[in-house]
Amino acid sequence: MTVAAPTRVLSLVDAVGEAMRQAMEADPAVIVLGEDVAGGAGRGEEKENAMGGSFGATKGLFPLFGPNRVRDTPISEAGFVGAGVGAAAAGLRPIVDAMWADFTGLAFDQIYNQASKMSFMFGGQARLPLTIRVAMGSGLGAAAQHSGTLYAIYAHLPGLKVVVPSTPHDAKGLLLESIFDDGPVMFFEHLKLYVAKGPVPEEPYRIPLGVADVRRAGSDVTIVAISAMVDRALEAAERLAASGTSAEVIDPRTVSPLDLDTIVASVEKTGALVVVDESPPHCSVASEIAAAVSEHAFDSLNGPVRRVTAPHAPVPFTPSLENAYAPSVQAIVDAVGTLA
C-alpha cells in the first residue's frame, strides 16, 4: 500500500522567503534590496545571526547569494526604491523590501512617476520587472504610522499591479509570478498573516495575477474579502450557514488587475454582495468593487451592495480601539443580515 506523503506546512513569511530563494536560484538577475535584508551581514556581524529584514522573510538569503545579490541599504526609501527602479530598467529583477506600507510615501515619486509610467512613456520599449514588498495591517499594536493598508492608493495608479495574498500557498505562488512579471508589482503582506500556516508545495509554482479564488461556494450572498479579511469572511460564512444562509466567499488575491468577471458571475448567481475591506471606506477597493458590480450586474442585485470597512480614521494604538478598527466577523454577519 502506498502511503501519501504528508502535506508540508509553512507560515506565510516562510512561504514568501522560499519564493524569493527559488526565484534567485532560477535567475541570477533576481536581487534583493532593503534595510537589514542581509541582517547586517557584511558589516561585521555574524552571517548566521542575520535576522532577514524586520520580519525574517529574507533570512538565509545572504549566505546563499552573497553581498552582490542581497544588499543592505541605508535608511532611505527614496534611495533604495529608486535604486530598484534603475536596476529593473537596466535588466535586473529587483525585489525591494520597503518594510511597512506607510513608508512607501517616502518613495512615492519613484513608484508613481517612474516605475508605473516608464514603460508607457517609452512606448513599451522599457521593461520594469520590479517587485516592492511591504507589510501592512492592524492588529499588532504598531500604531498609525506602521499599520496602514494603502493598497487602494496603488491600485489607483495605472501601470502598477497590486497583490494582496491571504494564505501561505497563494503568497508563494503570487510572489513568484510577481518577480517574473515584466512590470512593477506592489506586494502587500498582512502583518497578522505572517504567522498563519498552511499547505505549501515545495516545488516552485506560479499563480497568475488577476485571477480570484472562490474560497467557499454559496448560493444566497457573495462576500468578497481582501487579505486578512478572508479568514473572517469564511468564519462569518460558517455562522451564516448555521442559520440557513449560504454565503459564497471570494478572495480577489490581486486588486489590480481585479478579476471582476468572477465577482460578477457570483453576484448573478446569489443576487447579493457584501465587500469586506480593512481600508477606510473613501475611495477604497470596496468602493470600486461595489461600483463595478452595480454597473455590470445591477439587474441581478436584490438590494444595495453593503461595504464592511475600517472607519475613516488612522489605525489607533490603544488596544481596545485597534481591536474595534478592522471589520469583525460579527460585522460581516450583520451586513448580510441587512440584505435579508
CB 230 within 8 A of CB 215: yes
Say what the pTM is: 0.94
Question: Which residues sit opposite 71 in a β-bridge?
Answer: 33
CA dist 73 and 81 (Å) reads 10
CA dist 63 and 24 (Å) reads 13
pLDDT for res 44: 47
CA dist 134 and 57 (Å) reads 11
Q: Is the peptide bond before 257 cis (omega within 30 degrees of 0)?
A: yes
pLDDT in tens, the chain (340 residues): 554 556 899 999 999 999 999 999 999 999 999 999 987 554 545 455 566 777 889 999 999 999 999 999 999 999 999 999 999 999 999 999 999 999 999 999 999 999 999 999 999 999 999 999 999 999 888 999 999 999 999 999 999 999 999 999 999 999 999 999 999 999 999 999 999 999 999 999 999 999 999 999 999 999 999 999 999 999 999 999 999 999 999 999 999 999 999 999 999 999 999 999 999 999 999 999 999 999 999 999 999 999 999 999 999 999 999 999 999 999 999 999 999 7
What backbone phi and psi angles, to 5 degrees, belong to 13?
A: -65, -35
- CB count in 10 Å sphere of residue 280: 19
Express each pLDDT in 124-181 by its tens digit: 999 999 999 999 999 888 999 999 999 999 999 999 999 999 999 999 999 999 999 9
Start-to-end CA span in the chain (Å): 51
Three-state DSSP class for residue 194: coil
What backbone phi and psi angles, to 5 degrees, belong to 215?
A: -80, -25
CA distances, 97 to each of 19, 74, 122 (Å):
14, 12, 27
CB 96 within 8 A of CB 130: yes
Q: Where do we find the cell 480614521?
A: 313
Q: Among all residues, which ones are annotated catalytic?
A: 146
CB 199 within 8 A of CB 228: no
Query: Which domains, and CATH codes, for the chain?
Result: 9-199 (3.40.50.970), 213-337 (3.40.50.920)
Helices marked H in the chain: 12-26, 61-65, 77-89, 108, 118-121, 151-155, 168-179, 229-242, 260-270, 285-296, 319-325, 329-337
CB 332 within 8 A of CB 306: no
- CB count in 10 Å sphere of residue 47: 13
CA dist 290 and 301 (Å) reads 11
pLDDT for res 15: 98
Q: Which residues make Cβ contacts (< 8 Å) with residue 125, sequence separation at least 6?
A: 119
pLDDT for res 50: 60
CB 28 within 8 A of CB 91: no
- Exposed (0-12), middle (13-18) or buried (19+): which is 178, by Cβ within 10 Å? buried
CA dist 13 and 135 (Å) reads 10
